Chain A
Amino acid sequence: MESLSDTVWDVVLAGTGLAQSLLALSLSRSGKKVLHVDKNEYYGGLEAALSLQEAEIWAEAADEGAGSSPYRHATIKNLEREAPVQEADGALKLGFSRAYSLSLSPQLIYTRSNLLPVLVSSKVYRQLEFLAVGSWWIYENKDVTEGGQDGEGDARQGGLRRIPGGREDVFADKSIDLRSTRSLMRFLKLAADPETHMSILEEWGNRAFPDFLESRLSIPPRLQAPLLALTSSPHPPTETLTSYALPRIHRHLTSIGMFGPGFGAVVPKWGGLAEIAQVACRAGAVGGGVYVLKRGFESAEMPDLQASGRNSVRFDKDTGLSTLCLQGGEQIRSHWVVGSIWDLPLQIDQNPGDRMQTNYVARSITIVSGSLAQLFPSPAEGAPPPAGAVVVYPTGTLEPQSTDQTPGSSGLGLPPVYLIIHSSDTGECPAGQCVIYACSFHPTNADSHQILQVAVAKLVASVREDPPATVLWCMHYDQRYNLPATTEDYEANIRCDHFMNDHVLQLPDVVPGMALEDDVLKHVRAAYRRIVGDDDVAFMLFDDREGTGDDIDEN
């Protein structure tokens, strides 16, 4: 049989994360010889979805994987063993390991995301299912809730308050007085109209968003919190600039209603972005791509490479070929090498600092018994039943009340904590349970895991459920992420300066925020353009393959 080293590859893709997989999809009809490798024994890279058993193994590796993965401090707690199981009801207990598909990338995808049209035009949407993300909730401390004029913000609601999904909701919300309603309406109108943004940002862009809301629109602080929540800002309000906030609120508002009433974002079924990555790889394989798991590259850290003084990627100017060494010693040759920094053969720690900003985000995944149905009301008539919900804990809602000595808080407060809740309709857990994904951009604080835990506990406690919802299992970890070098120059972002070889490209990581950002696909397209040449009109524009058309209308 032909070995991998006998072929001269056009493209070697390193890692099967979302970005590399989308690139594989984009190349699947190009006729190019593609080798797609992953050092892990599973697909998905940083966007993988895991069973309980896989999560155990993953956490062990993540905990010690400094330098070769962006993770640290991964711990798992199985709380089911501690709680006595009273009844035979299966939902009260952890299910089988493979009944779970826990997503390392539960990001929601706005209906205006640039990814969705590409999934349609490349025809892979036929193998995907998307579910609606319904309500956004904000957590309000008791004093605030009770201070409100509505009778709803009572103990039963436990301080959760639904963020109005649009104009109708604002009008319907009896807790907002008439003057504020008018201010809010003015804001919603302005936020939805990008033409006005330019002049606003000129004046307010570099100033804090609450400042803009208050000074320019007289929106009182209580009503600012929900608007801030919609920005998904990683920072506390005082550090959230209007230039950051306004475009995001615009995206949120204009996404609602695009694919149906009442929702503006979707999640893929069966494990978040992992499912999209896999479907893209499948298309890559159908296009003739060769896939090899458990095979990364020998990196420069490997002693034998260092001893021989060789670079981990050798480039031959005459042939234009790069030579790399796969784990196990096989040498492969390729015109292009594309991967994430975690998959390319480079030493991570010498890399950041120069062009990239390094940050950590604290994350957790929690399995709870109970369907938390209260979080998933139908957002509008005729809306598809939501399978996702968002709960935001604004700055100030989780801080220890009196003793404010948290390092780094310096009076600004902790960054908000974001929770994305997936119901069992996502296929990520058995019926009658939910998965809560939490994140906060405040990892320098050793207590960040604690804060996420408190946020989840408060949510679970605030939801009425019979029997009461309980936490069955949770995993905490930190994830390092690198913001791309620039915000606009995608060509520059995919350059890999580490090698004196411009045929090696790096695809920046998916930023572990609330929503999938458009830059992922823009980087993929930039890489595609480098590989196939400037003519990229056919990018992701495919016909159905023979024998796979929609031969029957499911209606």
Chain B
Amino acid sequence: MTSRVSTGTRPGARFAQFKLVLLGESAVGKSSLVLRFVKDQFDDYRESTIGAAFLTQTISLDDTTTVKFEIWDTAGQERYKSLAPMYYRNANCAVVVYDITQASSLDKAKAWVKELQRQANENIIIALAGNKADLVAEHPDKRAITTSDAEAYAREAGLLFFETSAKTAENVRELFTAIARKLPLEQAGARNMRSNPRQGVDLRPEAPGTQGGGACNC
């Protein structure tokens, strides 16, 4: 079995790439979390996602370990619900988002967790994110779901859990870093280790210095 974690140019350096999917009801802040994580921005008037969006972000876990997320942000509107299977297929990790001021959004999140546990990879890492924490900081009465309730559910279902705010950036980096730390960097045999395809074939004939590409035909 080949390792899909590549060693980089620096001695001992490791690089791994993982597929991450965001799921959750419309307007809970999935795209906002991604925007905060990838560009460190926030937008008060964000348009609802059509279909899906794809972004990448790389984080360093320590001096030698780099993790690249291939992020699929799906549309939460009911009309797009058929999309989810093609994004969680072979996903290594998922972030299921709800809005802590909307009780119904946690029900939807639980339904997604169930579907992931039934349909996605056996060892997918799932994180639950209760978003819009900034809203209750100002107006505690706006909270619809207590931290302890959500925490208890997350523990029971085996999920990572954070209350986040895309607006203030609270816990956003922490969320993605916690996922990265839990991913099987060492366990090269993991089936769903979708990381850098060093063992694979590079399709770009001009690719510099990679094995395969442009190799001599003699």
Contact = CB atoms under 8 A, between A and B. Distances in A.
Contact of B54 (A286, A294, A427, A555): A286
Interface string B182-216: 00000001011010111111111100011111011
A116 B50 CA distance: 28
Nearest to A427: B191
Interface string B58-82: 1000000010101010000111101
Contacts of B56: 547-549, 551
B27 to A, nearest CB: 13
B201 to A, nearest CB: 4
A290 B85 contact: no
A282 B17 contact: no
The majority secondary structure among interface residues of chain A is loop
B121 interface: yes
Contacts of A263: 201
B120 to A, nearest CB: 8
Contacts of A287: 51
Nearest to B72: A282
B15 A1 contact: no
| Best-buried of A1, A259, A289, A385 by chain B (most CB within 10 Å) | A259
B86 A282 contact: yes
Interface residues of B, number: 58
Interface in A279-293: 281-282, 284-293
Contacts of B79: 1-2, 290
A247 interface: no
A454 interface: no
A1 B77 contact: yes
| Best-buried of A263, A385, A425, A554 by chain B (most CB within 10 Å) | A554
B201 A132 contact: yes
Contact of B51 (A125, A290, A552): A290
B88 to A, nearest CB: 11
A391 B2 CA distance: 23
Contact of A270 (B50, B90, B215): B90
A545 B72 CA distance: 13
The majority secondary structure among interface residues of chain B is loop
Given A132-B201, A551-B58, A554-B15, A384 B212 contact: yes
Given A431-B1, A551-B56, A291 B191 contact: no
B52 A431 contact: no
Nearest to B39: A547
B72 A424 contact: no
Interface in B70-106: 70, 72, 77-80, 82-83, 85-87, 89-90
| Best-buried of A1, A99, A427 by chain B (most CB within 10 Å) | A427
A99 B122 CA distance: 8
B2 A425 contact: yes
A35 to B, nearest CB: 11
A257 B199 contact: no
A261 interface: yes
A555 B77 CA distance: 39
A338 interface: no
Given A2-B79, A99-B122, A291-B82, A384 B55 contact: no
Given A125-B203, A261-B216, A552 B54 contact: no
A520 to B, nearest CB: 17
B87 A282 contact: yes
B127 to A, nearest CB: 20
A119 interface: yes
B179 to A, nearest CB: 18
Contact of A285 (B8, B9, B52, B216): B52
A501 interface: no
| Best-buried of B2, B72, B212, B217 by chain A (most CB within 10 Å) | B212
Contacts of B58: 551-552
Nearest to B74: A285
Contacts of B215: 257, 259-261, 382
Nearest to B89: A278
Nearest to A111: B201
Interface string A407-449: 0000000000000000011010011000000000000000000
A367 to B, nearest CB: 14
Interface string B28-56: 00000000001100000000001111111
A259 B205 contact: yes
A127 interface: yes
A375 interface: no
A545 B54 contact: yes
Contacts of A244: none
A285 B86 CA distance: 10
Contacts of A333: none
A431 B193 CA distance: 13
Given A260-B201, A554-B15, A289 B86 contact: no
A210 B25 CA distance: 64
A15 to B, nearest CB: 14
Contacts of A552: 58, 66, 68
23 contacts: A98-B120, A98-B122, A132-B201, A257-B217, A258-B205, A259-B205, A260-B201, A261-B217, A278-B86, A288-B50, A289-B51, A290-B51, A291-B86, A293-B82, A293-B85, A294-B82, A382-B215, A384-B200, A385-B2, A385-B199, A545-B54, A552-B66, A555-B9
